C-alpha cells in the first residue's frame, strides 16, 4: 500500500469572493478568506503521476479551515477528469463547520470508480454556499491517495500461499503421497 499526499500548485477564480486564494496552496498557517456568497475558487496542478493498473483504495481531501459563524456553509468539490463531486460542510454535517482552525478530512473514495487516470487529473474547488454574514477561512486543500501496486498484490498473494502451505504442510505432504500412489497404480507401476 502506498499513500501519497499532494498540494495544488495553481489556483483560478471561478466566481470572485476569495481573498488571497493562493494561501490555500499549502498548509502553512496562511488562509484564503471567503467573504462573498457563491464565491468559488479552483485548485489544480496536484502532480499525481500514478502508474496504469494500480488499485485506488482511498481518495481524501484534507484541509485546515474554520468559519466565523456556525451558519456558514462551505462546499468542497473534487474533479476526476469527467465530473465534479462535492461534500458540504455546515453545522449539520460530519465534520461540521468548525469555529476554530481545525484539520478535517473529506472522504471522496466512493463518489466514483477511481482509476490512476482519474487521480492524475484531480482538481478541487471551494465554494462558499452561505454566509451569515461572516467569513470562512481555508489554509490548504491537500489530496491524499492510498493505492496498491500490482507488485504489492502479487506479493500479498504469494504471502497468503506461503502461509497456507506452512499451516497445512503435513496434510499437503500426506495428500502428495496419496496422489503419487494413485498415479503409480494407474500407470501400473505399483
pLDDT digits (tens, 9 = 90+) for 80-131: 999 999 999 999 999 999 999 999 999 999 999 999 999 999 999 999 998 6
| Nearest CA among 122, 33, 130 for reference residue 85 | 122
* Spans of all domains in the chain: 2-148, 151-186
Q: What was the pLDDT predicted at 112?
A: 97
Q: What is the pLDDT of residue 159?
A: 72
Range 7-45 burial, b when 16+ CB lie within 10 A, else e: bbeebeeeeebbeebebbbeeeeebbbbbeeebbbbbbe
State in words which class domain 2-148 has: mainly beta
Q: What pLDDT shows up at residue 62?
A: 98
How far is 129 from 96, CA to CA, in rounded Å?
Answer: 14
pLDDT confidence band for 44 (50 / 70 / 90): very high
All three cell numbers of 64: 485546515
**Amino acid 74: pLDDT:** 95
Q: What does the pLDDT look like over 124-165, one tens digit per residue? A: 999 999 866 789 999 999 999 999 987 655 666 667 766 766
Query: How confident is the model over 53-81, as pLDDT tens digits?
Result: 899 999 999 999 999 999 999 999 999 99
Give the whole-number percent of the chain exceeding pLDDT 90. 72
Amino acid at each position: 500500500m502506498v499513500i501519497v499526499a499532494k498540494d495544488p500548485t495553481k489556483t483560478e477564480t471561478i466566481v470572485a469572493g476569495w481573498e488571497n486564494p493562493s494561501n490555500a496552496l499549502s498548509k502553512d498557517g496562511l488562509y484564503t478568506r471567503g467573504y462573498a456568497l457563491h464565491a468559488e475558487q479552483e485548485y489544480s496542478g496536484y502532480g499525481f503521476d500514478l502508474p496504469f493498473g494500480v488499485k485506488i483504495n482511498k481518495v481524501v481531501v484534507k484541509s485546515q479551515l474554520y468559519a466565523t459563524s456556525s451558519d456558514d456553509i462551505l462546499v468542497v468539490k473534487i474533479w476526476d477528469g469527467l465530473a465534479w463531486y462535492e461534500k458540504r460542510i455546515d453545522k449539520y454535517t460530519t465534520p461540521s463547520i468548525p469555529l476554530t482552525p481545525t484539520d478535517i478530512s473529506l472522504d471522496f473514495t466512493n463518489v466514483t470508480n477511481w482509476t490512476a487516470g482519474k487521480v492524475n487529473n484531480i482538481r478541487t474547488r471551494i465554494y462558499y454556499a452561505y454566509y451569515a454574514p461572516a467569513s470562512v477561512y481555508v489554509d490548504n486543500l491537500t489530496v491524499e491517495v492510498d493505492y496498491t501496486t500490482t507488485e504489492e498484490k502479487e506479493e500479498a498473494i504469494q504471502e497468503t500461499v506461503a502461509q497456507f502451505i506452512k499451516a497445512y504442510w503435513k496434510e499437503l505432504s500426506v495428500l502428495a503421497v496419496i496422489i503419487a500412489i494413485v498415479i503409480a497404480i494407474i500407470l501400473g507401476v505399483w
